Chain A
Amino acid sequence: MSADTLLYLPGIAGHPADSPALDALRAAGGDVVVPTIPGLDGRSGFAVPDDHLGWLVVVWDALDATGALPCPVVGASLGGMLAADLAILRPEAVTALVLLAPFGIFDEANPGLDVYALPAAERMGHLFAKGVPEPFVERFAALGPDDGPVARYLSDVAAASLLWPLGDRGHADRLHRISCPTQVLWGELDELLPVAVAASWEEHGLPVATIPGAGHLLEWDQPEAVATRITEFLN
């Protein structure tokens, strides 16, 4: 594995394809490894873990299978929540951490949009500030009208099981355990986790920078800006 390898954990909508942001990171000279997170890929046959610890075991197995660790880790959305726990619980595995609008802390004053209370067909539109990128539109279309909705449902179930009901898994009580260099980035137009929620992470000594013109999945809305921030931080 390259010394410049970084590992990317995708967000609430899974990983339909490499984003322009990942392409930009690779163009900057690094390798980006994207693990397959069971459940989020929409495949059938995966039993959703009973609890958060069960999920961490599933995710760590997937991360370890890449052979990329220890390395810098970039986690987006629910992937950010998982990446934070990796850095907290396995500090030797994470040399640097970038969190893109991570779940993990619920702010009562800034509850954001309850995405699962939206009709399924409308959810995706609220994840982005600049329209739904084509890879997300097409993600399960190839499976056909019968199996495509099922795959999307299974992916939603996996993500929702990690986040239900508030996306809070007690991170506020353990963020002080993060010991590696860390940068938090947040989209200014995030509907799910309003940018004000970033203050809850900043309170724990984690530096936050905001990205204009970006929604919840900011690396898709502003790929160049996000890639530049990540590259500058890691360098």
Chain B
Amino acid sequence: MGLVDQAEFHYFHFFPYTRLPPDHGERESLWVDFPNSNYDPAVGHELYNRYLQQMVLADSLGYDGLVLNEHHNTQYSMNPAPNLTAAALIPQTKSWISVFGTPPNLGYPNRLAEEYAMLDVMSGGRLKVAFPLGTGMEYWANAVNPATARARFRESIDVILRCWTDDGPQTFAGDFYTYRYLNPWPRPVQQPHPECFLVGTGSPETIELAAELGFGYSVVFIPRVAQLKVFDSYRERLAHHGHEPTPDKIAFGVFAYVAENDDLAEQEFLPHIMYFFENNLRTTARYLNPPGYVTVPEFRKRIQAADVHGTTNWDDLVAINRIVAGTPEKVADAIGGWIEEAGANRITLNLTIGDMPHWKVVKNTTLFAEEVIPRLRARKAAPKEVVA
């Protein structure tokens, strides 16, 4: 068994709202204060149905799992409550459902433990969970002081794990969350609990916490080369805490588009991935970094780092991210190389991106499932080189 042929391919969907007003380009940010008067529920209804159909299609094509995430006050995602979407998907699917995920500190953690347990029971044990701190933007949208975000995050995970692993009723006396009777019903099917990840951008604190808890690590929005150092650090800390650093404990994202030839693939993909980076991700440093949201080491890093939110240079994007468009062979070569390079094989696939029309999503999702995954499953050795 090799690293590549054992890779898992999880189909991710942002659920973007794509009907932007003509003058949206004049706005510095399409997050936080982008007026919700620009949201048309009729359009949203059509998009929800379309996106759910796409997820069901991915499931029927044999992807290992479906992945949802959560954001607020933005056109980037229509999933402010991804557990609702997961619940809608469960009766229509058979693969893993990953909620990657709800920041546990934005609400009451016992409630989140209950919701995840519900999903796990409803799906017969098909739930995977990731706990993100959430972007800085979420703290402008929710009633949580960003200065307490990390402390709340840590404590909320403790509450959730206590809900899942300890018999109730029990008491919990924390700094932020206090319970006389912590005794949530239902409890998850998967024991001791569904597989858990932390979502991170490379901060040492998050790596350490994931390693300490034995959680997986899902990396987002840091340059590819930097990710490799993060993975090494995570594996080292994971082993330090007595957990086996298996390749499936690291999840990383890939943006891919498959077509009949390379030129056509780039031609069909480019407008939508550029839309994603130019529009979906358009925000400002001040919204990304509310006071107290980042630690001092992270603050030092951020004031020196390139900002990928709203970046419009294609070469920079390709250098920073794992993006490939081309024939099945080219896409398989690139992804196989990235798996070998990372020593990790939990792939979060971004096959639908930005304002990609339905026919392209269906085409890409189908070709990837039928032409790329089988090529990767058939591989036993590392490919010759990484193609980006």
Q: With an 8 A cutoff between CB atoms, is B300 at the interface?
A: yes
The smallest C-beta distance from B30 to any residue of chain A, in angstroms, reads: 15
**Are B286 and A153 closer than 8 Å at their CB atoms?**
no
Minimum CB distance partner of A151 in chain B: B296
Once the chains bind, are A116 and B151 in contact (CB under 8 Å)?
Answer: no
Q: Does A50 contact B (CB under 8 A)?
A: yes
Contact of A48 with B147 at beta-carbon distance under 8 Å, contacts A150-B299, A160-B292 already known: yes
Q: Give me the interface of A with B, judged by CB distance under 8 Å.
A: 44, 48, 50, 116-120, 146, 149-150, 153-154, 156-157, 159-161, 164-165
- Within the complex, the shortest CB–CB distance from B183 to chain A, in Å, comes to 25
Answer whether residue B146 sits at the interface, using C-beta atoms and an 8 A cutoff.
Answer: yes
Q: A50, A116, A119, A154: which contacts B285 (Cβ < 8 A)? A: A119
Inter-subunit contact A48/B292 (CB<8 Å): yes
Q: Is the CB of B291 within 8 A of A157?
A: yes
**Distance in angstroms between the alpha carbons of A48 and B293 in the assembled complex:** 12
A119 touches B292 (CB 8 A): no
The 5 closest A-B pairs by CB, nearest first: A161-B147, A160-B291, A157-B292, A164-B145, A157-B291
Question: 11 more A-B contacts (CB under 8 A) besides A48-B292, A118-B286, A164-B145?
Answer: A50-B151, A120-B286, A149-B299, A149-B303, A157-B292, A160-B292, A161-B148, A161-B291, A161-B292, A165-B140, A165-B143
Chain B CB within 10 Å — which of A150, A156, A164, A165 has the most? A164
Q: A116 to B300: give the CA distance in the assembly, Å.
A: 19
B interface residues (Cβ-Cβ under 8 A, vs A): 33, 140, 143, 145-148, 151, 175-176, 284-287, 290-292, 296, 299-300, 303
Contact B286 A48 (CB under 8 A): no
Q: In the bound complex, do residue A160 and residue B296 qualify as a contact, i.e. CB atoms below 8 Å apart?
A: no
Pairwise interchain contact B148-A50, C-beta atoms closer than 8 A: yes
User: B145 contacts which of A117, A146, A156, A161 (Cβ < 8 Å)?
Assistant: A161
Which of A50, A119, A149, A153 sits near B291, CB closer than 8 Å? A153
Report A27 CB to chain B, min CB distance, Å.
36
Chain A residues in 8 Å Cβ range of B147: 48, 157, 160-161, 164
How far in angstroms is the closest Cβ of chain B from A77? 16
Alpha-carbon distance A153/B147, docked complex (angstroms):
12
Separation of A153 and B285 alpha carbons in the complex (Å)? 14
- The reply to whether B292 and A117 form a contact with Cβ atoms under 8 Å apart is no
User: In the complex, what distance in Å separates the CA atom of A118 from the CA atom of B290?
Assistant: 10
Please give, as numbers and ranges, the residues of chain A lying within 8 Å of B303 by CB-CB distance. 149
> Chain B residues near A50 (CB, 8 Å)?
148, 151, 175-176
A118 surroundings in chain B (CB, below 8 A): 286
Shortest CB distance A116–B (Å): 6
On chain B, the residues within 8 Å of A48 by CB distance are 147-148, 292
> How many angstroms between the C-alpha atoms of A161 and B151 in the bound complex?
13
B33 to chain A, nearest CB (A): 8
**8 Å CB contact of A150 from B146, B285, B296:** B296
Q: Does A150 lie within 8 Å of B300, measured CB to CB? A: yes
Q: Tell me whether A164 and B146 are in contact (CB under 8 A).
A: yes
Which chain A residues border B291 with CB–CB below 8 Å? 116, 153, 156-157, 159-161, 164
Closest to B304 in A: A146
Bound state CA distance, A116 and B33, in angstroms?
Answer: 13
Bound-state CA distance A149–B290 (Å) is 15
Closest to B303 in A: A149
Q: B261 to nearest A CB, angstroms? A: 45
- Check B286 against A119 for contact (C-beta < 8 Å): yes
Residues in A with CB closer than 8 Å to B287 are 117
B33, B146, B285, B292 — most chain A CB neighbours (10 Å): B292
Does A44 contact B148, Cβ atoms closer than 8 Å?
no
B99, chain A: closest CB distance, angstroms: 27
Q: A50-B176, A157-B147, A157-B291 are in contact. Are A117 and B286 (CB under 8 A)?
A: yes
Q: Write the nearest CB–CB distance from B304 to chain A, whole angstroms.
A: 10
Interface centre among A149, A159, A165 (most CB of B within 10 A): A165
Residues of B within 8 A of A161 (CB): 145, 147-148, 291-292
Give the chain A neighbours of B300 by CB distance below 8 A.
Answer: 146, 150
- Chain B min CB distance to A171 (Å): 18
Residues of the A chain whose Cβ atoms lie less than 8 Å from the Cβ of B140: 117, 165
Minimum CB–CB distance from B28 to chain A (whole Å) comes to: 10
In the assembled complex, 29 residue pairs joining A and B whose CB atoms fall closer than 8 Å, in A order, are A44-B296, A48-B148, A48-B292, A50-B151, A50-B175, A50-B176, A116-B286, A116-B291, A117-B33, A117-B140, A118-B286, A120-B286, A150-B296, A150-B300, A153-B291, A154-B296, A156-B291, A157-B147, A160-B290, A160-B291, A160-B292, A161-B145, A161-B147, A161-B292, A164-B145, A164-B146, A164-B147, A165-B140, A165-B143
User: In the complex, A14 Cα to B178 Cα: how many Å?
Assistant: 34
**Residue ID in chain A nearest B285 by CB atoms:** A119
Which of A44, A116, A150, A154 touches B290 (beta carbons < 8 Å)?
A116
Question: Which residue from chain B places its CB closest to the CB of A153 in the assembled complex?
Answer: B299
Contacts of A44 on B, CB cut-off 8 Å?
A: 296
Which residues of A are found within 8 Å of B286, using beta-carbon distances? 116-120
Q: How far is the CB of B142 from chain A (nearest CB, A)?
A: 10
Query: A165 to B33, alpha carbons, bound, how many Å?
Result: 14
Which residues of the other chain, B, contact A117 by a CB distance below 8 angstroms?
Answer: 33, 140, 286-287
Central interface residue in A44, A119, A161, by most chain B CB within 10 Å: A161
Query: How many Å lie between the Cα of A116 and that of B303 in the bound state?
Result: 17
A50 to B155, CA, bound (A): 12
Chain B residues with Cβ below 8 Å from A150 are 296, 299-300
Q: Are A153 and B148 in contact (CB under 8 A)?
A: no
Instruction: Specify which chain B residues have a CB less than 8 angstroms from the CB of A154 in the assembled complex.
Output: 296
Q: Which residue of A lies closest to B33 (CB)?
A: A117
Q: Which residues of B contact A157 (CB under 8 A)?
A: 147, 291-292
